[in-house]
């Protein structure tokens, strides 16, 4: 019963947040942007598409979890906002992930809102190497879409894809001559120390979340820590078929959702397009009263 009450609260909150930003669930996507200023830098969350996500990717381990999935997603699909980020500071235009190859044109259009072109991107921070995150790296001729960018990723992620049977991912990464690696909660971008990586291994061997913080103001981009938010918030032990190390991914999810329970979160596959602290009931009441 307690889980169902939490589920109802999450669903109400998701729908309220969609209304606040002027969207309806399942609405066709152009480029919706949520922005926040952190004084000496700003972050913009860009929604590239809103495809439905089949809940068949969930891997329940018992009947109770199977029933919970049916209750949350009666039609077998989850709302999915495919989100990346743009970070701007003095002389810096950094992307966090690039989306699919097929959605690059939407990213390019979104950049125009900031009077930017792909040539203006100085850095690309990769949370991990799956195709919906690195697909925008290369054009149809396998040339870099962002010719002036330095690529940054976890060294464990690079090593994994360098030794993977398929070479498509590592070829896309190696197409960028300027590459740097992070492995100790520090992203090596000069004059942007307020941006740091948070290792969240399991989904892939070098999967990272990205923390934007200035004093008490902070937002955590959790990337692919969760795919089915309403479900995995209640049952973080449920992994999905995309998780490479499913046991590690489940434990990481438990740990991170607890550690950052009071932090505003946004993911690459969230059911809403803006960051929010779902544990703050005061925020929930404010939204309900709008």
Predicted pLDDT of residue 260: 95
Predicted pLDDT of residue 188: 82
Instruction: Report the alpha-carbon distance of residue 254 to residue 175 in Å, rounded.
Output: 36
Structural domain span for residue 161: 33-289
- 4-59 residue pLDDT tens: 555 554 555 554 454 444 444 444 454 667 999 998 999 999 999 988 999 999 99
The answer to whether residue 40 sits within a structural domain is yes
pTM listed for this prediction: 0.88
Task: Please count the structural domains in the chain.
Answer: 1
Confidence of residue 194 (pLDDT cuts 50, 70, 90): confident
Tell me the DSSP string of 87-143: EEETTEEEEE----GGGHHHHHHHHHTTT--GGG--EEE-S---HHHHGGGB-TTS-
| Least confident residue range of 13-17, 40-44, 143-147, 228-232 | 13-17
- 251-274 residue pLDDT tens: 999 999 999 999 999 999 998 888
The answer to whether residue 116 sits within a structural domain is yes
Q: Which residue has the tokens 């998780």?
A: 243
| Least confident residue range of 111-120, 158-167, 271-280 | 271-280
Give the tokens for residue 68.
Answer: 């919970």
Give the tokens for residue 175.
Answer: 């197409």
Decide if pLDDT at 284 tops 60. no
Residue 72, domain CATH: 3.60.15.10
The answer to whether residue 23 sits within a structural domain is no
């Amino acid at each position: 019963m307690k889980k169902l009450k939490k589920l109802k609260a999450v669903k109400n909150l998701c729908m309220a947040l969609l209304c606040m930003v002027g969207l309806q669930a399942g609405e066709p996507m152009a480029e919706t942007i949520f922005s926040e200023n952190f004084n000496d830098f700003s972050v913009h969350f860009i929604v590239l598409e809103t495809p439905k996500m089949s809940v068949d990717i969930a891997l329940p381990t018992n009947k109770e979890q199977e029933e919970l999935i049916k209750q949350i997603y009666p039609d077998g699909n989850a709302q999915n906002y495919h989100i990346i980020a743009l970070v701007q500071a003095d002389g810096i235009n950094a992307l966090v992930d690039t989306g699919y190859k097929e959605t690059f044109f939407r990213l390019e259009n979104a950049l125009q809102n900031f009077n930017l072109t792909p040539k203006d991107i100085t850095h690309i921070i990769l949370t991990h190497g799956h195709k919906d995150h690195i697909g925008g790296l290369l054009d149809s001729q396998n040339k870099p879409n962002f010719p002036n960018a330095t690529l940054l990723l976890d060294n464990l992620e690079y090593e994994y894809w360098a030794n993977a049977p398929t070479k498509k991912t590592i070829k896309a990464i190696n197409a960028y001559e300027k590459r740097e690696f992070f492995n100790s909660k520090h992203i090596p971008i000069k004059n942007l120390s307020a941006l740091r990586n948070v290792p969240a291994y399991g989904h892939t061997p070098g999967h990272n979340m990205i923390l934007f913080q200035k004093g008490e103001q902070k937002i955590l981009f959790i990337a692919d820590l969760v795919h089915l938010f309403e479900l995995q918030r209640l049952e973080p032990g449920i992994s999905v078929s995309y998780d490479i190390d499913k046991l590690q991914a489940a434990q990481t999810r438990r740990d991170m959702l607890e550690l950052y329970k009071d932090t505003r979160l946004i993911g690459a596959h969230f059911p809403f397009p803006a960051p929010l602290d779902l544990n703050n009931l005061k925020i929930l009441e404010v939204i309900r009263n709008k």
